[in-house]
Structure 1
C-alpha cells in the first residue's frame, strides 16, 4: 500500500506497517463478523491502553478511520490497524480466535508482556 510519485519518493499517503500477526482462523472470524454486519469498509483496530489490575489492557474493535501514524497490515482482505503508541507494545504479537466449550473469543499472545493478572485481562 505504498504510493509513490514519479521520482520514486514516497508521498504523504504511505502507511507504516506493524508486526502483529493475525491467524487464518481469526481472519476468517473477522470476515464473518463484518459480513454479518454488512460492513466491508471496517478494519480491525488493535490497541494497548492503560487499565486493568496489571496496568495495560488490549482493545480490539472495528474502526472505519485511519488516523495519522497508524500502522496497517493486510491479511487476505482483513486490515489490522495499530496506532503509533501501541506498535512497540504489540511487536510480534499474534491474534487468534478460540471457539471451545471453555472459551470463545479472540486471544492475543504477546511476547512483550512481562506478566498478566489472575483474570488474564490485563498485562504489564
Structure 2
C-alpha cells in the first residue's frame, strides 16, 4: 500500500512539473518573453522591463488560477504558486520566499513585487550551492 502511495505521489509531482513547464510556455507565447528574460528583468531595475515582467507574472498567476474573473489575486494561491516555483531550486516551503507574498495596492503591483522578491531569493539560494 505504501508503494502505491509513493508511486502516486511521484506521478503527481512529475505531472505538476510538466504542467508548470506548459504554463511557462503559454506565458512565453502570450507575452513574447522567455522565462530567462523575465528572470533577468525581475532581478533588474528598469521601468520598461518591469512592465514586461508584470505582464508575464500576471499571466503565470492567471495560469495557476490565482487571479479571479475580476482581476483580483487570491493570495493563498499566490503562495502555492511561489511554493511550486521554489521547488525548482529544491527550496519548496522556503520561509523567506513565502514571506515575499504581500498584497500591494493593485494585482499588478503585487505580481511584480512578489516576482522580484522571489527571484532575488531564488538567486541567493542557487548561488550559495
TM-score, with normalisation over the residues of structure 1?
0.31
Counting strand residues as a fraction of each chain, which structure ranks higher? Answer: 1
Larger Rg: 1
Q: Calculate the TM-score normalised by the size of structure 2.
A: 0.30
